[in-house]
Amino acid sequence: MKSESLRLVDVVDVLGAGFHMLRRYRLEMIFGLEQTKMFRNLFFTAAALAAILVIAGARAETGQKTGEKFTSPYTSPYRGQEARRIKSLSEKDVDDLVNGRGWGFAKAAELNGLPGPAHILEMAEAIGLSADQKGRVQSLFNDMKGRAVPLGKKLVALEAGLDRLFTGYGSGAAPSESALKSHLSEIGRVRSDLRHVHLATHLKTPKILTPHQIAAYNRLRGYSGGGIDHSKMGAGGHGGH
């Protein structure tokens, strides 16, 4: 900031000197009034632009010295993620996976109107779950979580292992293509199994809820409908309770 202030003072001094020159020599007597006005406007415009450039340059220099993040037209949207413990996963991702949360794996079901057990239990009172329904949904949730947690932990471990394959590249310990392919295949298999656990559970909830409860669930979740026919979902189907 001190450097920026000094440079701005220099620009102000130049402006002042230029203005004094215009007044002292009364250029309108030499060039005429209209040409002198145009000259003055150009002068002050150029001086203002110079001041902006000086300030911008000083701020960029200050940012580099203080460690502020530098941006460019080529800045990656992944900037900052290089500091992650596991590059492909945020801390929230890791927490969701090791605790059996959905991690977006069940969107195909959820966004097509099939409720998830965790959210059903959260809004049990709002959608009017009976004690029997709540018990059955809780059982579904417990089963889902019991299978999802070990798969989630395995996926986190595999992603950490993928990181290790590449951290050794600079020291000459690059993975072979076959080793990389094998590791990725295992990641894909675990992801697929985990996604199946979540989606398969969503398939079971409509057999416990009524069409009215499913409609209420989707309304409370903020879903617009998207052509979902709730009357064909739920215990009893076609609006049956």
pLDDT per position as a tens digit, 124-169: 999 999 999 999 999 999 999 999 999 999 999 999 999 999 887 7
Residue 179: the pLDDT is 92
Please tell me the distance from the alpha carbon of residue 179 to that of residue 187, in angstroms, as a whole number: 12
For 91-117, the pLDDT digits (tens) are: 999 999 999 999 999 999 999 999 999
Sign of CA dihedral 94, 96, 98, 102: negative
What's residue 71's pLDDT? 74
Look at residues 9, 106, 125, 3 and name the one whose alpha carbon lies nearest to residue 64. 3
Look at 105 and 45; give whichever has higher pLDDT: 105
Sign of CA dihedral 123, 127, 132, 133: negative
Contact 139, 203 (CB under 8 A): no
pLDDT band, very low/low/confident/very high, at 57 (cuts 50, 70, 90): low
Q: What whole-number distance in Å separates Cα of residue 213 and Cα of residue 218?
A: 9
The structure's pTM equals: 0.67
Percent of the chain's residues with pLDDT above 90? 57
What's the pLDDT at 13? Answer: 62
Q: What is the pLDDT of residues 67-81, one digit of tens each?
A: 556 678 999 999 999
The mean predicted confidence, pLDDT, of the chain is: 82
Q: In this model, does residue 241 exceed pLDDT 50? A: no
Task: Choose among 12, 17, 18: nearest CA to 40.
Answer: 18
- The rounded distance, in Å, linking the Cα atoms of 148 and 117 is 13
159-207 residue pLDDT tens: 999 999 988 776 777 788 999 999 999 999 999 999 999 999 999 999 9
